[in-house]
Amino acid sequence: MLQQQLVNGIVAGSVYALFALGFNLVLGALNILNVAQGAIFTLSAFVAFFLIKLFQVPFVLALLLATLAGGALNVLLELVVFRPLRARGGTSMATLVASIGASMVLISFAQLISGAQVERFPLGTLPEVQWAQGGVRLSFTQALVLCVTVLVMVGTWLLLNRMRLGKAIRTMAFSERIARMLGIPTGAVAAWTFFISGALGGLAGVLLGLMFNSVHFLMGEPYVLKGFAAIVIGGFGSVTGVIVASMMIGLAEVFSTVLGIGTFRDVVIFGMLFLFLLFRPNGLFGRDEELRP
Amino acid sequence: MTLDDLQCWLLVYDHSILTALINAVTALSLYVSLRAGIFNLSAIGFMAIGAYTAGILSLRTAAPAFLGIAAGVAISLLVGAVLVYPVLKLRGHYLAIATLSFGAIVQALALNLDALTGGPAGLIGIPATVRVWHLLLVLAAVLYIVWAAQASRTGRAWDAIRTDLSAARAMGIPVEQYRLLAFLISTALAALAGGLWAHVNRVIVPFEFGFAQLTFALVQTLLGGLSNPFGPVAGAVIVSTMPDWLAGFDQYREMLIGALLVVVVIYLPQGLATPFEALRRRARGGDDPGPKPLAAAGEPRQGQT
């Protein structure tokens, strides 16, 4: 029983981790808190849903296409909203407000195309396989979520530490001016950062939709707030921190249900966030914010 | 237009006018925080506290509306006084996240404390005793207070803090006091707006105190601009009456408001006053753009590395 809850918590935490990693990437590299990530999460889930429902696309392909769509949408946001704002010297607060507005537009678009209905994937979208081992059951979707998360974590690590793009992103995170001086094409790097971030958000959205077999236009909202919690608890800019914090949030959710205070699990999580802001604002693994140039 | 026409017009648009006036108070609440460089997004949370306090008091004890509204403001100030110490220690994104999640906590509590708040169904049957002239008086008083504060030493201190917190401190401005003052005024105004809202709409549900509401409040405040308190009031009136003069608005409400927010932030940093500000600058001959309207105190400014 306990182990089962542990598995459930880690699976839930994995989806948070995917989402928060994307959040964190844009925040770290460009100092943009992109609230619209939640809307991208939702819209990607809808893309996958419509692909499967209307065109009977196999789910692996739908997952891939929806992930790409999430990335493309985020690049669109960068080009239409964030880049003009940066060019006009918008402050980081102006960027946050703009992303709130953009998020609103995208969410109401999702509401429009879905008619505010809760959509379900057709039967047999995913193989109904289940593994049981010593009282712990793992459904196919859960296994899929875990595998994808591990792959994405390895991929992110490789990207940030082994690839030219990752180095460029890290330089931008240090200082955009210095990056420009070094001849890094900052515009292109920013676009790529947004693409990866949106793809991660989209991937999380599709996986969540498959996991609960429900896609609706408000599904992203709790993820935005919990994504905030994950990046604060983990420490701004820290990849390890975000992953650990996401797992903590997933486990806190599952275990507050076990303890019988499930209706207050959001209060528990945001209470945790507040305690961190009070006593350890740099999070578990964060650098000192004052040192950021 | 005869007097009868006017009376008829007032009757038809009564609810729009009430909504616009309450939204003006909310917009002024955001205005005070933003003016002092505090990126405080907790207004909707305090609005909820104000609304629920007023609603519960009037339903349970049949207390007169002004008592419930005053109680809502008092409770919000108490909560705000506890919240303010951790929150004002934070900078930039951290402050935004903390205040945003405060709103989320309030909404989660409103949804789940069924015995007190009525859960997702909310509170129904609050007497609608607030009239337009009450609101006009309240708004006039609030506007006077905010105007007087921002035109005085306090307002200049807020501008200094928003522009550069460390420099303001170095000049001997008691930064923490002025930030505290701004936060508490902001809290009280939001709770006031919430209490009035409860007595105008008869019904309060938790979903009204969410992201959409925050977006509306931000649009109203920023459309009007931060250069003076009449800006947010004008913004509130324009945005709240949109369903009346913009055909098809209701269908695409959220989409239009979201797009408007993006456009205002990118292209009209001073709100509707932007063209006039530009003219004034040209007349003065300088090209100093002045302090950024949406700057957050304590954040490194652009090009300052």
In three-state form (DSSP H/G/I as H, E/B as E, the rest C), the secondary structure along chain B is CCHHHHHHHHHHCHHHHHHHHHHHHHHHHHHHHHHCCCCCCCHHHHHHHHHHHHHHHHHHHCCCHHHHHHHHHHHHHHHHHHHHHHHHHCCHHHHHHHHHHHHHHHHHHHHHCHHHHCHHHCEECCCCCCCHHHHHHHHHHHHHHHHHHHHCHHHHHHHHHHHCHHHHHHCCCCHHHHHHHHHHHHHHHHHHHHHHHHHHHCEECHHHHCHHHHHHHHHHHHHHCCCCCHHHHHHHHHHHCHHHHCCCCCCCHHHHHHHHHHHHHHHCCCHHHHHHHHHHHHHHCCCCCCCCCCCCCCCCCCCCC
Helix axes A221-234, A2-30, angle to 10 degrees: 80
Cα distance between residue B74 and residue A24, in whole Å: 38
The pLDDT value given to residue B252: 83
A232/B97 touch (CB, cutoff 8 Å), yes or no: yes
Nearest-Cα distance to chain B for A156, in Å, is 24
Amino acid identity of B194?
A: G
Q: Please check the confidence at residue A131 and state whether its pLDDT lies above 50.
A: yes
Tell how far CA B227 is from the center of its chain. 15
Q: Which long-range contacts (CB under 8 A, 24 or more apart) does B64-67 make?
A: B64/B129, B65/B127, B65/B129, B65/B130, B65/B195, B65/B199
The two beta strands, A136-139 and B123-124, are unpaired
The Cα B77–Cα B189 span in angstroms is 10
Is the sign of the CA dihedral A33, A39, A45, A48 positive or negative? Answer: negative
Closest CA to A49 of A234, A188, A205: A205
Strand partners, A133: A136
**CB contact (8 A) between residue A96 and residue B112:** no
Q: Does B274 touch chain A (CB under 8 A)?
A: no
CB contacts, 8 Å: B221 with chain A = none
SS3 label, residue A137: strand
The SS3 of residue A136 is: strand
Residues 58-97 of B with CB under 8 A from A: 86, 89-94, 96-97
User: How far is it, in rounded angstroms, from Cα A263 to Cα A256?
Assistant: 8
Cα–Cα distance for residue pair B120/B112, rounded to 1 Å = 8
Please tell me the predicted confidence (pLDDT) of residue B177.
Answer: 93
Q: How far is CA A160 from CA A98, A164, A227, A265, in A?
A: 28, 8, 20, 34
Write down the pLDDT at residue B298.
Answer: 61
CB B94 within 8 A of CB A277: yes
Average the pLDDT over A38-67 and give the result: 92
**One-letter identity of residue A96:** L
* 83-112 of A, contacting B, C-beta below 8 A: 84-85, 88-94, 96-98, 100-109, 111-112
> A94 vs B294: CB contact, 8 Å cut-off?
yes
Q: Do A105 and B255 touch (CB under 8 A)?
A: yes
Both structure tokens of A125: 């979208």
- Rounded distance between C-alpha atoms, residue A64 and residue A82, angstroms: 26
Distance separating the N- and C-terminal Cα atoms of chain A = 48
Give the separation between CA B23 and CA B19, rounded to whole angstroms: 6
Size of interface A-B (CB pairs under 8 A): 148
What pLDDT score was predicted for residue A75? 96
Residue A116 touches chain B, beta carbons under 8 Å: no
CB B256 within 8 A of CB B245: no
Q: What is the pLDDT of residues B260-283, one digit of tens each?
A: 999 999 988 888 877 777 777 777
Burial class (CB in 10 A: 0-12, 13-18, 19+), B96: buried
Q: Is A260 exposed, middle or buried (0-12, 13-18, 19+ CB in 10 A)?
A: exposed
Distances (CA, A) of A15 to A18, A63, A104, A179, A242: 5, 14, 22, 32, 12
pLDDT, position A288: 54
Indicate the burial class of B238 (C-beta count within 10 angstroms; 0-12, 13-18, 19 or more).
middle
Give chain B's end-to-end CA distance (angstroms, integer): 61
Classify residue A82 by its DSSP letter.
Answer: I
Please say whether the beta carbons of B26 and B236 come within 8 A: yes
- ipTM of the assembly? 0.87
CA distance A233 to chain B (A): 11
Token pair recorded at residue B43 = 């207004």
Q: For the segment A240-255, what is each residue's pLDDT rounded down to a tens digit?
A: 889 999 999 999 988 8
**Local confidence pLDDT in tens for the 305 residues of chain B:** 677 888 887 777 888 889 999 999 999 999 999 999 899 999 999 999 999 999 999 998 888 889 999 999 999 999 999 888 888 888 778 888 889 888 888 988 898 888 888 888 888 888 888 888 899 999 999 999 999 999 999 999 999 998 888 899 999 999 999 999 999 999 999 999 999 999 998 899 998 898 889 999 999 999 988 888 999 999 999 988 887 777 777 778 888 889 999 999 998 888 887 777 777 777 776 555 555 667 766 665 443 33
Q: How many residues does chain A have?
A: 293
Q: What whole-number distance in Å separates Cα of residue A70 and Cα of residue B101?
A: 25
Interface of B with A in 138-197 (CB under 8 A): none
Identify the residue whose tokens are 């925040």: A27
The 10 Å Cβ neighbour count of residue A275 is 12
pTM assigned to the model: 0.89
Using an 8 Å Cβ cutoff, are A63 and A250 in contact?
no
Nearest CA in chain A to B88: A278
Side chain identity at residue A219, one-letter code? M
Residue A93: predicted pLDDT: 86
The mean pLDDT value for A210-229 works out to 87
3-state secondary structure of A106: helix
Instruction: Say which DSSP state A218 is in.
Output: T
